[in-house]
Structure 1
Amino acid sequence: VYLELVRALISGQLQPGQKMTSSKLAKELGTSDMPVRSAFMRLQALRALSPMPNGSVEVPLISADRFQQLTDVRTILEGTATELAMKLINGNNLRAIRRHCTELTQAARSGDIDDYLRKNHDFKFSIYRHCGNEQMIFLIETVWMQVGPFLRNLRIGFEDDLAGILGIDYHEQVVAAIEAQDGERARAAIVRD
């Protein structure tokens, strides 16, 4: 249940302000209330969900200030993770990263926002998981859970030009920098993205 909610938050399937009850979600997932309540509690501790007075939870609304703060944290963590990953990425890893980049570009060009958000996560984390720092990966994922619902809404209305507004060239720049073993350039491209 927890991992399903994490994926839903990161991919923007859950919307800011959306309310959920453990009983309703348990029924939808075909499970009991206990694992749902446990997942809710974990996600509240990570600030990905907010408690409501009646025992339900809500996907938090995000202010412009909070979004900027989370963006600042993302750029620091993700840039550092990318630069650290340079030391551990080998030829097989690089081929997988390149494949994820190609799939991400195709998703952007297709205008499918849901597919794009999934492929964006796959691409970025195919790099970050090589940083050698599990705590950093955990923190990046935690921030993604908080901004995911909001990022999906930023893209709504631009489906016809996802490739144009999403700067897919940055993804290619990241891959080129990794191929060149240029950590600073890879960091800069991830941060710009």
Structure 2
Amino acid sequence: MKDKSPIGLETIEVAPLHEVVYQRLTHALMSGQIKPGQKLTSRKIAHELGTSDMPVRAALMKLQSLKALDQLPNGSLTLPVMTRQRFADLMSTRLVCEVAAARAAADAFKKAELKAIQNASSALTQAAKNKDIDDYLLRNYEFKFMIYRACHSESLIFLIETLWLQVGPFLRQFGSSYAGNLEAILDIDYHEEIVEALGRGDGDAAAEALRKDIADGMAFLLEHGEFQ
């Protein structure tokens, strides 16, 4: 008789296609890869991703419910109009959620996570020196979310992701505001101070450095950004 007892293998989990599409789109939105005003249609996105139309529609509907996209009369979707008041509200809420996550991360992160955060910080600095706004926005997103995920609070991460879905694309205005001198953005970027504080396990210092990072960026764009 053959032995049918389990041998300790874990089941293979495959994410539904619509969830994979949703993750691709949220990553593009939060890292500023989709430009404000850019129209999105399920057909074009499905063609680019090599999928059918249905999982893309499901992902777009979910993003619309989170106020990351607005529907136009012709059925296509676009990023919501960014007003000065809406931007200030989103950034002020970021100050509450992200500062709390940074403080918690100082007590919860693992050594491997700190090393990854340090590497991401170096890549962020280099992107600014290279004057590459696309790479800078991507590295900025990766750096900050490594910190937030290190706090291991699912509720905080969900709230922060929802905020970034709305504000991430507008951060592209840093590129036009600095008119080719993107390296100057490092004057209002405190990621190195955040890393140093996390390395010391100083949650208050990490939270304060992140607060200044968000607040200074908010002040700069409120002064120099183009709002509708």
Equivalent in 144, 153, 175 of residue 173 of structure 2: 153
Query: Which stretch shows the higher mean deviation, 136-145 or 89-98?
Result: 89-98
Report the counterpart of residue 105 of structure 1 in structure 2.
125
Q: Is the 8 A contact 2:39 2:79 kept in 1?
A: yes
TM-score where L is the length of structure 1: 0.93
Q: Residues 94 and 160 of structure 2 are in contact (CA less than 8 Å); yes or no, is this contact kept in structure 1?
A: yes
Q: 1:31 to 1:93 in 2, by over 3 A?
A: closer
SS at structure 1 position matched to 2:35: coil
Q: Equivalent residue for 2:144?
A: 124
Query: Amino acid of the residue matched to residue 174 of structure 1?
Result: I
Paired position in structure 2 for 1:9: 29
Q: 1:92 to 1:4 in 2, by over 3 A?
A: closer
User: Aligned pair 1:134/2:154, yes or no?
Assistant: yes
Normalised by the length of structure 2, the TM-score is 0.79
The one-letter amino acid of 2:27's match is: R
Secondary structure in structure 2 of the residue aligned to 1:167: helix
**3-state DSSP of counterpart to 2:107:** coil
Instruction: Give 2:76's aligned residue.
Output: 56
What is the Cα deviation at residue 168 of structure 1? 6.3
1:52-79 deviations in Å (ceiling 9; x for gaps): 2222111111001000000001111110
Quote how far apart the aligned CAs of 1:103 are.
Answer: 1.0
Q: CA deviation at 1:104?
A: 0.8
Q: 1:101-140 CA deviation, whole Å, 9 max, x = no partner? A: 1111111111111111111111111111111211111111
Q: Alpha carbon RMSD of aligned pairs, Å? A: 1.6
Q: Quick one: which amino acid aligns to residue 157 of structure 2?
A: I
Report the identity percentage: 50
Contact 1:18-1:59 within 8 A present in 2 as well: yes
Residue ranges of structure 2 left out of the alignment (5+ in a row): 1-20, 214-228
Deviation, 1:5, is: 1.2
The within-5 A match list for 1:73-112 is: 73-112=93-132
> What is residue 165 of structure 1 aligned with on the other side?
185
Count residues in correspondence. Answer: 193
Q: Which amino acid is 1:89 matched to?
A: F
2:7 corresponds to? none
Partner secondary structure for residue 180 of structure 2: helix
Rg comparison, structure with higher value: 2
Is contact 1:112-1:159 (8 Å) kept?
no
